[in-house]
């Protein structure tokens, strides 16, 4: 059943309402998106509204004093990496003075992994929706060390690694992408779902497929730039998560395509900052509807850690769940049990529940175990509130000392959806 026909059949015999038409349109845009990686460039050159003194970070915006723990440390780390301040105290003073500007990623077309720190010189993947032309951006996976800027850690080693990405990996990837004439990401995501990925906490197949797409270009480049080609290949091989940033940017362009449809109650972003979880809704402008951080932990922690060590420091990779991946496609990725706990049975059950709150099924992104059923797409805030079922989020877990300490499936809080339903009723009364 297409999203449109499903919308129609859900309607009464009378003509579809504004909400029904708007939601059909929003869902259609998500499903039609054809994300293509077109470039890899420093943020300052491509990100809308980026300035030399801007630091982007995950989640709905907060006052500076509200940023705490790893997210606060990450923002300061980003300022230091960019050379905007001498030390942490100087960075704080300049932030307070407005000389360093802290802004939410998503309002600049970006999407942040965990703390989601972007500074002007950092390279970003540039992903374009070939259907609508809108663009989304995501910076690069920092590698396999548990200590990374996006997990709230900044030190010499983290800085050195960021410079390696900036000076070696990103320019080479950019040239390879350009030689390849762009890399269509929809076919990679489609295939990866048949190969055990849900594209959030598991990107193993997608990373491999992406690497293979670049290989002919790497063969062309190796003659003059052998060292850089080998280092870039090693970077791509070293981690099964490299593609996560591309699935996030892909999801961002799909979700953004669906944003701003008058009358639509479809969720177009879900994001953490260190204090709250928030959603945006297509027909409700750029307002963030906030709710508390999840307290139901479904995490599997690395050895030596307990739940007391968990800290929320932001995270917008839940843009993937927003368009039907991650927790909405768990039944495609049973190997995730090993990484984030749970059982195959519970994963299937949790995945099936997501169909209850979604308006459609993706025509191409399909789950083999569910008889190739399309992933559930188009979270309707009304369905969430009516059923009490909230989105399931496959996320990395950060620790209080910084760094990744595990992974898990969490439930989004109901409060933000309830707030959106209330505002929807007020606005479209």
Note whether 212 binds a second copy by CB under 8 A: yes
Note whether 395 binds a second copy by CB under 8 A: no
Assigned token pair, 419: 């707030």
Note whether 239 binds a second copy by CB under 8 A: no
In 3D, which of 391, 416, 399 has the Cα closest to residue 312? 399
By CB under 8 A, name the one of 17, 178, 238, 343 that touches a second copy: 343
Note whether 368 binds a second copy by CB under 8 A: yes
In terms of CB distance, is 7 or 213 closer to a second copy?
A: 213
Residue 324, phi-psi category: left (phi > 0), alpha (psi -120 to 50), beta (remainder): left
Distance CA 100, CA 109 (A): 19
Which range binds a second copy by CB under 8 A, 109-117, 125-133, 292-300, 338-346? 338-346
Which range binds a second copy by CB under 8 A, 146-154, 172-180, 204-212, 350-358? 204-212
Q: Classify each residue of 241-270 as buried b or exposed e, where b means 16 or more C-beta atoms within 10 Å of its C-beta.
A: bbbbbbbbbbbbbbbbbbbebebbbbbbbb
Note whether 339 binds a second copy by CB under 8 A: no
Backbone φ, ψ for residue 42 (5° rounding): -60, 140
Note whether 344 binds a second copy by CB under 8 A: yes
In 3D, which of 168, 249, 240, 165 has the Cα closest to residue 207? 240
* DSSP letter for each residue of 177-243: HHHTT-EESHHHHHHHGGGT--SSS--HHHHHHHHHHHHHHHHHHTTT-HHHHHHHHHHHHH-TTTT
Note whether 216 binds a second copy by CB under 8 A: yes
Which range binds a second copy by CB under 8 A, 96-104, 125-133, 230-238, 253-261? 230-238
- Tell the smallest beta-carbon distance from residue 418 to a second copy (Å): 36
- Tell the smallest beta-carbon distance from residue 357 to a second copy (Å): 23
Sign of CA dihedral 412, 415, 416, 420: positive
In 3D, which of 10, 252, 310 has the Cα closest to residue 110? 252
Assigned token pair, 320: 């993937």
Note whether 369 binds a second copy by CB under 8 A: yes
Which range binds a second copy by CB under 8 A, 96-104, 209-217, 315-323, 403-411? 209-217
In terms of CB distance, is 223 or 304 closer to a second copy?
A: 223
Backbone φ, ψ for residue 220 (5° rounding): -70, -35
Note whether 237 binds a second copy by CB under 8 A: yes
- Tell the smallest beta-carbon distance from residue 190 to a second copy (Å): 11
Residues that bind a second copy (CB under 8 A): 191, 194-196, 204-205, 208-209, 211-212, 215-216, 218-219, 222-223, 226, 229-230, 233, 237, 334-335, 337-338, 343-344, 368-372
């Amino acid at each position: 059943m297409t999203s449109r026909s499903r919308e129609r059949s859900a309607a009464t015999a009378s003509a579809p309402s504004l909400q029904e038409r708007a939601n059909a349109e929003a869902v259609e845009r998500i499903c039609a998106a054809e994300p293509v990686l077109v470039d890899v460039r420093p943020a300052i050159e491509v990100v809308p509204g980026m300035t030399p003194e801007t630091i982007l970070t995950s989640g709905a915006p907060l006052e500076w004093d509200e940023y705490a723990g790893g997210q606060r440390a990450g923002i300061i780390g980003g300022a230091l990496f960019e050379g905007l301040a001498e030390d942490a105290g100087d960075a704080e003073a300049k932030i307070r003075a407005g000389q360093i500007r802290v802004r939410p990623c998503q309002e600049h077309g970006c999407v942040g992994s965990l703390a989601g720190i972007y500074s002007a010189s950092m390279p970003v993947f540039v992903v374009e929706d070939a259907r609508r032309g809108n663009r989304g951006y995501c910076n690069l996976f920092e590698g396999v060390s548990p200590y990374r800027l996006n997990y709230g850690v900044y030190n010499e080693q983290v800085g050195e690694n960021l410079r390696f990405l900036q000076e070696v990996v990103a320019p080479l990837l950019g040239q390879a992408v350009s030689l390849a004439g762009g890399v269509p990401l929809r076919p990679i995501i489609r295939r990866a779902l048949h190969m055990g990925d849900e594209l959030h906490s598991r990107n193993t197949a997608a990373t491999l497929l992406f690497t293979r797409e670049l290989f002919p270009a790497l063969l062309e480049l190796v003659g003059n730039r052998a060292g850089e080609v080998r280092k870039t290949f090693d970077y791509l091989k070293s981690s099964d998560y490299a593609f996560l940033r591309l699935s996030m940017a892909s999801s961002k362009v799909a979700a953004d395509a669906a944003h701003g449809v008058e009358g639509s109650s479809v969720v177009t972003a879900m994001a953490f900052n260190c204090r709250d979880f928030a959603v945006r809704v297509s027909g409700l402008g750029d307002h963030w509807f906030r709710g508390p951080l999840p307290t139901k932990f479904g995490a599997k922690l690395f050895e030596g850690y307990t739940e007391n060590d968990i800290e929320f420091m932001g995270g917008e990779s839940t843009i993937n769940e927003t368009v039907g991946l991650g927790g909405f496609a768990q039944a495609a990725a049973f190997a995730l049990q090993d990484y984030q706990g749970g059982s195959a049975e519970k994963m299937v059950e949790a995945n099936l529940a997501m169909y209850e709150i979604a308006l459609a099924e993706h025509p191409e992104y399909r789950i083999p175990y569910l008889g190739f059923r399309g992933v559930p797409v188009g979270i309707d805030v009304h369905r969430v509130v009516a059923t009490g079922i909230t989105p399931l989020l496959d996320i990395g877990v950060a620790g209080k000392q910084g760094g990744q300490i595990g992974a898990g499936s969490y439930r989004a809080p109901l409060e933000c959806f309830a707030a959106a339903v209330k505002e929807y009723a007020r606005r479209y009364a």
